[in-house]
Structures are given as C-alpha cells and as structure tokens.
Amino acid sequence: MPEIAFYHLTRASVEQTLPTLLERSRARGWRAIVQAMSETRLAKLDADLWSYRPESFLPHGTKADGAPEAQPIYLTCANDNPNDADVRFFVEGARIAP
C-alpha cells in the first residue's frame, strides 16, 4: 500500500524546502522524482537544486540530461518513472494522470 504525505508550505518556499526533503530521501537510499506542471518551472527547480547550498551536492537530472534510469533524482512534467523512484514529489499542482 502506498504511503502518502502532504506538505503544505506556509513559512518556506518550495525552493527552500524541496532540497531538504530530497536529501532526506537520498539518505534513506530512495530514488526520487519531482514532478512539476511546466518545463519553465522544471528548469527553475533544476537550477535551484544545483546551487541551493555550496557545500552540498544533490545529484539529479532531467530528460535533457539523458539516461534517466541513472538519475537518483529525476525532474519531469510527466507521469513517468524512468528512474524507478521510491518517492515522488508533486510540485505546485502537479498530479497523477488518470
């Protein structure tokens, strides 16, 4: 049975919170997907994850990077799961398609 958790952000932005949640997921050995609503938003998240903390490295990629199965964190706008993720983060209205 899937486990579902909700984070309603009121004091911090997605850009501030998502890296921490992804770090926790990686610490547990989980692969992750971040699903956004638009390619523009995805590009912003991609840039933010590369630069959110100078002393930290959070490996991730998008369709543009290729080899999605090799990405521990995969950013997408689709309902796919090419990296066999254990956890999925829906950002700003993204949802599972019927």
Give the count of alpha carbons within 13 A of 43, CB side only: 4
Tell me, yes or no, whether 63 lies in a domain: yes
Q: Contact, 81 vs 75, CB < 8 A?
A: no
Give the total number of structural domains in the chain: 1
Tell me, yes or no, whether 46 lies in a domain: yes
Q: CATH code at 34?
A: 3.40.50.10110
**What pLDDT does 1 receive?**
52
Helices (H), 1-98: 14-27, 39-51
Helix (H, G, I), strand (E, B) or coil at 65: helix
Tell me, yes or no, whether 42 lies in a domain: yes
Show the domain range for 72.
Answer: 14-90
Helix (H) or strand (E) holding 34: strand 32-35
Helix (H, G, I), strand (E, B) or coil at 70: helix
Tell me, yes or no, whether 6 lies in a domain: no
> What are the pLDDT digits (tens) for 8-35?
667 877 778 899 999 999 999 999 999 9
> What are the pLDDT digits (tens) for 39-93?
999 999 998 888 888 887 789 999 999 899 999 999 999 998 999 999 999 887 7
The yes-or-no verdict on residue 96 having pLDDT over 80 is no
**What pLDDT does 6 receive?**
67
